[in-house]
Amino acid sequence: MEYVKTSDTIISQLEEEIEVFKHASKQGLPGGHGKRQQDVISVEEQSELKNKLEDLDNILQSTNKENENLQHNVENAEYRIEELQASYDRLHKQHLIVKQNLDTSNRESEDLKTRLSQVAGAKLVAGNSCIADLGDKYRPTKIAEMFSELYDTEWTDAVDKLMSLKKDWSEDLAVRHLFIVLQVCYKTCSELAKRQLDSICKKLFLDIPSEQMTEQLDRHITEVKQIRDARKGLARDMSQFLIGEIFGYDQFKKECKKYKELDQELLFHIRNTEFTEKCVMICWLMVVQDPEMFIDDDMSPGERFNKDIYREYTQSGTKIAFSVWPALYLKKGGPLLSKGVVQVAN
């Protein structure tokens, strides 16, 4: 556009010069009135003026043509600029769309990686007691410590209390009943935990047939682990509910019937001890682990004493007389976490 403006200026100047020469040429024509001889332009000068006038006309025509070309070029350039701007806008829009799609793909990729990592982690951890969450205050090793403290403190206090209530209750009788209560609490909690998890999964999958349920559980390991983790998080509060209710469960009564020597009066007094409260809590914490922690069953009298698994109660010997306190394992068939205690005899 600057070139066009300059060209217009040049044309204006040429037109002014042409008018000046035309005016000068008229002054030199014959027959002029009121002019002195010295003011009249000579023939040679007139010829020169005409030549200059023709040159200026040619220059003017050439400049006009150049100006038209410049205007045409400017219009073409402006049109090209509009085309380039439209092309830029279109490419910019496409770039934004591609970038948005790329960002979406990256997020989806990260989500898939995260989910894959969670699934792999869940598969690795699920049922694998060798991998411990050190941030879990109720992990198996901590529960084993609580189990040992239960025997050292609450169990000892309970034995002393029971023996003080009735003179004909021997220490062996009190010890046996505390062992039975522990066993029954553990087995009742174990059965309740299995029913609870089965019930949650059935409701989650709308009571589908068992074979389909197994398939779905295998496909959703991460989600099932989250259910187990949630149950572990609620375990302490759930155990407080069980403390007041466990003696009324049919499973508890069913387990009690397996022990013929059970004294109902003695059982009633054991129910109201701190030992029972802590026993229920620890047993529930055991059974909600993945896998479930395991305590030994009652040892049969006459079995050989194994010092690698048990400690002697009050006397030495090679044969087991009766069980005092069960051995605790990380899982059934797993490593020993806490030795049991048995009364032995020769």
Phi, psi of 258 (to 5 degrees): -75, -15
pLDDT of 174 over the 90 cut: yes
Q: At 11, is the pLDDT very low, low, confident or very high (cuts 50, 70, 90)?
A: low
User: Could you give the CA distance from residue 179 to residue 220 in angstroms, rounded to a whole number?
Assistant: 39
How are strands ordered across the β-sheet holding 294-295? 294-295, 328-329, 336-338
Share of the chain above pLDDT 70, in %: 82
Q: What per-residue string of b and e applies to 243-257 under the rule 16 or more CB within 10 Å gives b?
A: beebbebebbeebbe
**The pLDDT value given to residue 301:** 93
Q: Is the pTM of this model over 0.85?
A: no
97 lies in the same domain as 144: no
Query: Is residue 157 in a domain?
Result: yes
312 lies in the same domain as 189: yes
- Is the model more confident about 105 or about 12? 105
- Sequence-ordered alpha helix ranges (H) in 246-344: 250-256, 264-271, 274-287
Query: Is residue 232 in a domain?
Result: yes
pLDDT of 38 over the 60 cut: no
108-149 pLDDT, tens digit each = 887 777 666 655 555 555 555 555 566 678 899 999 999 999
197 lies in the same domain as 335: yes
**The pLDDT value given to residue 123:** 54
Nearest to 140 by CA among 150, 129, 126: 129
**CB neighbour class for 318 (10 Å; exposed up to 12, middle 13-18, buried from 19):** exposed
104 lies in the same domain as 139: no
96 lies in the same domain as 201: no
20 lies in the same domain as 56: yes
User: Could you give the CA distance from residue 19 to residue 11 in angstroms, rounded to a whole number?
Assistant: 12
The region of weakest confidence among 127-136, 189-198, 250-259 is 127-136
The region of weakest confidence among 24-28, 71-75, 137-141, 225-229 is 24-28
18 lies in the same domain as 147: no
Select from 57, 92, 108 the last residue of a domain: 108
Is the sign of the CA dihedral 238, 239, 241, 247 positive or negative?
positive
**The pLDDT value given to residue 136:** 79
142 lies in the same domain as 186: yes
What is the number of structural domains in the chain?
2
**The pLDDT value given to residue 31:** 42
Q: At 34, is the pLDDT very low, low, confident or very high (cuts 50, 70, 90)?
A: very low
- Is the model more confident about 8 or about 246? 246
Please name every residue paired with 341 in a beta bridge, in sequence order, or none if there are none.
311, 325
58 lies in the same domain as 144: no
- Is the model more confident about 91 or about 5? 91
**The pLDDT value given to residue 287:** 97
The region of weakest confidence among 114-128, 161-175, 242-256, 299-313 is 114-128
Q: Which domain holds residue 98?
A: 2-29+40-108
- Sequence-ordered alpha helix ranges (H) in the chain: 2-27, 43-125, 140-149, 156-165, 171-204, 210-219, 221-233, 235-245, 250-256, 264-271, 274-287
Query: Is residue 306 in a domain?
Result: yes
173 lies in the same domain as 311: yes
Query: Is residue 280 in a domain?
Result: yes
Query: Is residue 128 in a domain?
Result: no
174 lies in the same domain as 65: no
**Which region, left, alpha or beta, applies to residue 207 given φ > 0 means left and ψ of -120 to 50 means alpha?**
left
User: Mean of the per-residue pLDDT values for the chain?
Assistant: 85
145 lies in the same domain as 255: yes
Query: Is residue 102 in a domain?
Result: yes
CA 202 to chain CA centroid, nearest Å: 26
Select from 90, 108, 126 the last residue of a domain: 108
